[in-house]
């Protein structure tokens, strides 16, 4: 069994699915000859040819729009947007057209397409290369939004995303592209897109996180364990539509919840989870619902980026705060 990083797991899933299903095609900027600026599609053009791994002209609306057209013909386009900060030109196609096609044709046409994007900050990239705007997609019915937090999930969730008959936004936390490795068997087993994963059991406080923030969140949980605080950690994984039941079950047990997200605080997915708890868990909550998020400002450039991202300390502090609440 190969031991793979998250990005290698992405490549493996793409490779697996292209081998299995000839309708799967990859398109995007620099995905072919160059294998993607992060190498997610490395080697795939050599293996499957330039009619299945397509270097496109430089235009994101076009990439999304082509994918829509191709998908109505039964192809399964897996589009890459080079960085999430460059998806804005494609929003007209993704929010306005892709999310709605099945609904507006009463099921006559549907779109088995995936839009992959490296997302999030923390790699000291230039301006506009660190966005976490999953909330925009999560607020759009008709889409699924999926974020893997480790190599195995990248493999299993990406397979699921490609096989899903509806459009899936697949966000790859690029900060952890290469920080851990998992042994992954290339067995083609997809993960479900309708459940979150409980990655650590605990009794005192429930953490909910996704993507790269799972890393800091698990570290915070360990830190808290040493202080005698038992934290349950949930990986949301499918960010929309998300599995609220598992979260509620956990919070009914722990009575406390801290949601961790890299995105801007106001109007993020973290807020939506908190809102669900405020509606459905009031009697179970023994402390305010905490949110540790990116600040309500523009992700600073490299020099101050570290101050913006939720740190293990900030996460642990928030948990200590809700533990101390009375």
Ligand X SMILES: Cc1ncc(C[n+]2csc(CCOP(=O)(O)OP(=O)(O)O)c2C)c(N)n1
What distance lies between CA 208 and its chain's CA centroid? 13
Catalytic residue check, 129: yes
- Half-sphere exposure at residue 129, Cβ-oriented, CA atoms within 13 angstroms: 14
Is 238:194 a contact under the CB 8 Å cutoff? yes
**Minimum CB–partner distance for residue 203 and another protein (Å):** 26
Backbone angles phi and psi of 149, in degrees to 5: -115, -5
Q: How far apart are CA 51 and CA 287, in angstroms?
A: 56
| 202-241 positions binding ligand X, by CB under 6 A | none
What distance lies between CA 138 and its chain's CA centroid? 11
Q: How far apart are CA 31 and CA 16, in angstroms?
A: 17
Measured CA to CA in angstroms, residue 128 lies from 34, 99, 134, 162 at distances of 22, 25, 15, 27
Which of 29, 164, 235, 262 touches ligand X by CB under 6 A? 29
Backbone angles phi and psi of 282, in degrees to 5: -50, -45
Size of the site for ligand X (CB under 6 A): 6
Work out what residue 280 binds among a second copy, ligand X, another protein, none; the CB cut-off runs from 5 to 8 Å by kind: a second copy
- Active-site residue, selected from the candidate residues 129, 139, 182, 215: 129
Q: How far apart are CA 251 and CA 204, in angstroms?
A: 9
Residue nearest to ligand X (CB): 86
Nearer to another protein, 93 or 150 (CB): 93
Nearer to a second copy, 133 or 150 (CB): 133
Region from 82-90, 97-105, 155-163, 164-172 binding ligand X, contact rule CB under 6 A:
82-90
**Minimum CB–partner distance for residue 243 and a second copy (Å):** 13
**Minimum CB–partner distance for residue 17 and a second copy (Å):** 28
**Minimum CB–partner distance for residue 9 and another protein (Å):** 22
What distance lies between CA 139 and its chain's CA centroid? 14
Residues contributing to the site for a second copy (CB under 8 A): 61, 85, 88-89, 91-92, 95-96, 99-100, 103-104, 127-128, 133, 135-136, 138-142, 240-241, 263-264, 266-275, 277-280, 282, 285, 287-291, 296-298, 325
Nearer to a second copy, 142 or 188 (CB): 142
With a CB cutoff of 8 Å and minimum separation 6, the contacts of 249 are: none
**Minimum CB–partner distance for residue 282 and another protein (Å):** 18
Strand-strand pairing, 181-183 and 53-55: unpaired
Binding region for ligand X (CB under 6 A) = 29, 58, 60, 82, 86, 89
Active site residues: 129
């Amino acid at each position: 069994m190969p031991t793979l990083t998250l990005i290698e797991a992405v490549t493996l899933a793409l490779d697996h699915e292209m081998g299995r299903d000839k309708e799967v095609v990859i398109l995007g900027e620099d995905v072919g000859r160059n294998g993607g600026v992060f190498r997610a599609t490395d080697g795939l053009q050599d293996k499957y040819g330039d009619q299945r791994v397509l270097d496109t002209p430089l235009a994101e609306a076009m990439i999304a729009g082509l994918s829509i057209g191709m998908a109505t013909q039964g192809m399964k386009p897996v589009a890459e947007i080079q960085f999430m900060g460059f998806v804005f030109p494609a929003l007209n196609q993704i929010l306005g057209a892709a999310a709605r096609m099945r609904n507006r044709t009463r099921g006559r046409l549907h779109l088995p397409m995936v839009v992959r994007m490296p997302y999030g900050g923390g790699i000291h990239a230039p301006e506009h290369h660190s966005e976490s705007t999953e909330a925009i997609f999560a607020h759009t019915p008709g889409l699924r939004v999926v974020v893997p937090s480790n190599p195995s999930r990248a493999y299993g969730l990406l397979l699921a995303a490609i096989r899903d008959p509806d459009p899936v936004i697949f966000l790859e936390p690029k900060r952890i592209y290469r920080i851990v490795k998992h042994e992954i068997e290339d067995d083609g087993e997809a993960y479900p897109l309708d459940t979150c994963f409980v990655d650590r059991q605990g009794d005192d406080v429930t953490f909910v996180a996704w993507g790269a923030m799972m890393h800091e969140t698990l570290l915070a949980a360990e830190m808290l364990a040493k202080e005698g605080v038992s934290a349950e950690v949930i990986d949301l994984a499918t960010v929309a539509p998300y599995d609220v039941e598992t979260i509620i079950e956990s919070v009914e047990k722990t009575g406390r919840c801290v949601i961790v997200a890299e995105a801007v605080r106001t109007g993020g997915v973290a807020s939506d989870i908190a809102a669900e708890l405020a509606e459905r868990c009031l009697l179970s909550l023994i402390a305010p619902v905490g949110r540790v998020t990116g600040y309500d400002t523009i992700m600073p450039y490299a020099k101050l980026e570290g101050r913006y991202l939720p740190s293990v300390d900030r996460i642990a502090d928030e948990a200590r705060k809700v533990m101390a609440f009375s």
